[in-house]
Amino acid sequence: MTALPDLIALRDRAHELDGPARLEAIVLLIEQQSYSHPDEALTLARQAANEALEIQETSLEAQLLLQWGRLEIYFGDVDLAEAAFARSLQLLQHDEQPNTTMPVLAEEARIQLETGNREQGMRNLRECAAAIPTLSADLRFLDLIEILQRYAPELCDADSIIRYLSAFESKSSASLVSATLIRLRMAKAAAQSASADYEASRANIAEAAAITDREGLAHLRAEIFLQIAQLARKCGRSDEAYKELLRAEEAASTSPDWFLRRRILTERAEVHKERGENKEAFDLQQLTYALVQDKRRQQSLRRIRRYQKEEELEKLRHERDTLREQVEKALTEIESLRKSRELYLSRNERSIATLRQLKTLLVDSTEPPDDGLMARIRSTLAQVETLTGDVRTTASDIDLQPIDQSFLLLLGEKYPKLTTAERRICALLRANIVGKKLAETLHISTRSMQTYRSRIRRKLGLGSEDDLDAFIKQIE
């Protein structure tokens, strides 16, 4: 029997392990916490099922989904429970072991019976009952037996069930947690009651009640009171049954398990009928109906909220994907710009060197350009155009060919103080290459161009009011 210290040991063991071993420990932990701390067990089952999915442990994932679904039923969310069971069956569709598939099928049958699909539910339960002789005695077998005893006791062979449960108890007595041992006693009691062994049945119920009181498992206490009432009804003790049902109702008052509360109300109505109290029976039936309708409304509201949440999540996912695309596009553009900048800087360095070479050829040469020199100038400018893609001044822009070489000689004769660079500037001005275009042609700044113009103006004997461009054009 596993008491509270063992529960702590289970939790510590689950934290210390990893992989499949950790998940196996969590399965045992959930089994115990399902009745003492069901909210914690539900959270743990969800997390563990997702963890099993990540590490592709199909068998453990199916088992955790089964536990997850049961806890969702406990808290009244039938839709999520049904989805968990469907996923579990999907994982087990190629598993030929009835021990793994039958408990899940039994849980699906329970939902079908509770939601009004009795024909399909009973068909599934008959399949489960037929598989009992092939099942090994373990926890999953116990789960299936409980559902059969509750919803289709006529399908159960009481003697076979008692034999299987006894084998399970003897094989696993050292490792059974308290909640499991209670459930086993109750299952044996139900089987013994079906075979009219009321004394043995009552003894097992009493032992289950003692464990429940010791462990403080309130939910199972309500189940035990209900089972005592059912046994009392079979023995014809309706007054005792009614008292136990009131105790069961009190114990279940704080439980979210509406299936259990409905079963208690139904049993109370049956007791009133047996006692001839039809009005009280009718009132309880109306209360049961109201409980069912209220639960269905809650489920509908929960379903609507879930759909709304899914729509909101889908919208958020769409916005996230849009932002991700925008970020990826921006990063691509930034990367492209970075590469372009690196390429531009690399080309610019080469352009600067080429431009300096061009300046030397155009400005610093002391001889008039011959055909070979002009070819080198055009070749250099073509390189600049190729490198930068933004060179506005090409050989055709400068158009040195039309410049009269005699004009350069004339300037040298009439104004010997002019340097070669200054004479070329005068030649470009005469060719109507002026202003900013002239500075760009010579690859110098506007300020340097103004300095050249001031020097030329001084050497030509012009004042500040004289027009330099006009004066150069009238030199003959």
The full 3-state SS of 330-384, as one line of letters, equals HHHHHHHHHHHHHHHHHHHHHHHHHHHHHHHHHHHCCCCCCHHHHHHHHHHHHHH
Tell me the domains of the chain and their CATH numbers: 4-249 (1.25.40.10), 402-476 (1.10.10)
Q: Name, of 256-265, 277-286, 293-302, the range with top average pLDDT.
A: 277-286
Residue 142's pLDDT band (boundaries 50, 70, 90)?
A: confident
Are 298 and 76 in contact by the 8 Å Cβ rule? The answer is: yes
- Amino acid in the structure at residue 28: L
Q: Could you tell me which of 408, 401, 362 has the C-alpha nearest to residue 381?
A: 362
Structure confidence at residue 159 (pLDDT)? 80
pLDDT(388) > 50: no
What average pLDDT does this structure show over 110-121? 83
HSE-up of 144 (CA within 13 Å, CB side)? 32
Are 169 and 176 in contact by the 8 Å Cβ rule? The answer is: yes
What's the rounded Cα separation, in Å, for the pair 135 and 143?
Answer: 12
Q: Could you tell me which of 77, 52, 145, 65 has the C-alpha nearest to residue 106?
A: 145
Please state, rounded to an integer, the average pLDDT across all residues of the chain.
75
Handedness of CA 287, 290, 296, 301 (dihedral sign): negative
pTM of the model: 0.52
Q: Which residue has the higher pLDDT, 36 or 54?
A: 54
pLDDT(25) > 70: yes
Q: Extract long-range pairs of 70-73: CB within 8 Å, 24+ residues apart.
A: 70/34, 70/107, 70/143, 71/34, 71/38, 71/41, 71/42, 71/45, 72/42, 73/107, 73/110, 73/111, 73/257, 73/259
Q: Name, of 178-182, 184-188, 355-359, the range with top average pLDDT.
A: 184-188
Phi, psi (5° rounding) for residue 96?
-90, 5
Are 294 and 262 in contact by the 8 Å Cβ rule? The answer is: no
Structure confidence at residue 352 (pLDDT)? 64
End-to-end CA distance of the chain: 124
For 226-265, the DSSP string reads HHHHHHHHHTT-HHHHHHHHHHHHHHHTT---HHHHHHHH
Q: Could you tell me which of 1, 78, 75, 62 has the C-alpha nearest to residue 34?
A: 75
pLDDT(4) > 50: no
pLDDT(442) > 50: yes
- pLDDT one-digit tens code per residue, 290-339: 877 777 777 677 667 767 777 777 777 777 777 777 767 766 766 766 66
Q: Which residue has the higher pLDDT, 295 or 113?
A: 113
What's the rounded Cα separation, in Å, for the pair 395 and 377?
Answer: 7
What average pLDDT does this structure show over 343-371? 60
Are 377 and 399 in contact by the 8 Å Cβ rule? The answer is: no
What average pLDDT does this structure show over 267-284? 86
What's the rounded Cα separation, in Å, for the pair 358 and 380?
Answer: 7
Structure confidence at residue 373 (pLDDT)? 59
pLDDT(247) > 70: yes
pLDDT(264) > 60: yes
pLDDT(30) > 50: yes
Q: Which stretch of 21-25, 107-111, 115-119, 355-359 has the lowest confidence by average pLDDT?
A: 355-359
What's the rounded Cα separation, in Å, for the pair 41 and 213?
Answer: 21
Residue 5's pLDDT band (boundaries 50, 70, 90)?
A: very low
What average pLDDT does this structure show over 148-161? 81
pLDDT(344) > 50: yes
As given in the structure block, the two tokens for residue 439 are 């500075």
Q: Which residue has the higher pLDDT, 302 or 12?
A: 302
What's the rounded Cα separation, in Å, for the pair 259 and 237?
Answer: 25
Structure confidence at residue 11 (pLDDT)? 58
- What are the angstrom distances between the C-alpha of 75 and each of 171, 397, 436? 32, 86, 83
Q: Which stretch of 190-199, 217-226, 296-305 has the lowest confidence by average pLDDT?
A: 296-305
Are 81 and 111 in contact by the 8 Å Cβ rule? The answer is: yes
